[in-house]
Amino acid sequence: MIDRSDNDGVTWLTLNHRKANAFDLEFSLALVDAMGELHDGAGAVVFTGQGSIFSAGVDLKRIVAEGESYIRAFLPALDDAFRAVFTLPRPTVAAVNGHAIAGGAVLACACDHSVMARGDGRVGLPELAVGVPFPPSVVGILSSALPRPRLRSILLGGGLYAADDALTEGLMHELVDADALTASAQSRAQALARAPAASYAATKALINTPALAPADALGLDATIEAWCSEPVRSAIARYVEQTLGG
């Protein structure tokens, strides 16, 4: 699900889960485990995707097929996965090789820096178009990553952005030609890792920890109940049928 390689002090984690690197229960748990293995190490981490997609977000077809019991197991695992990336006390870079939609965009925004390849890839947060509320931790991560004036329109509008527009909106930090993506991400990761590891970790914690405070206060229970409710599950089913072909 997650392929690891090491290159000159940088750990590369390649998402390799089915066709679209979609988030499901097992993939979320694997990402938490991967972050646990990296937690106390040194050097930077780069996330990228296999094929032409970074991540297409949550596996909505599985949500529809497996229903409430699956949702109740999945959402806490997804929440843990995003938190684990966001709070990792090491430099993190997203090398966005294609579509980064919903959970894929959250994963990129959870990193300290994002580099996207020019091309046909789209970035966006269409949760409200699907009909689901954002988990509080996701809003915390996005509020830390996105320019404040743009946060409201990006989340409430639910649009998908081409690479140039994703850069303008603040969803990405850097845009490069596709054949330069690996080298650019590697270079940025090495540059971030030049700071003493303890100093970088302490500074990152001061920036990121407050962003999760509202989510910690609210908890995840209300989000889980909303996702399990009949109106939201029906909205997901309609979206899957109309947009993803059932």
Strands 2-7 and 113-117: unpaired
- At position 97, the amino acid (one-letter code) is N
Count other C-beta atoms under 10 Å from residue 70's C-beta: 16
Beta bridge partners of 7: 10
Residue tagged active-site, from 127, 174, 225, 230: 127
Pairing of strands 99-101, 53-55: parallel
The whole-angstrom separation of Cα 103 and Cα 209 is 20
Q: Can 68 be counted among the known catalytic residues?
A: no
**Residue indicated by tokens 């909106």:** 169
| Residue 171 DSSP class | S
- Pair 110, 141: CB distance under 8 Å: yes
218 Cβ neighbours under 8 A, 6+ residues apart: 136
Residues marked as catalytic: 127
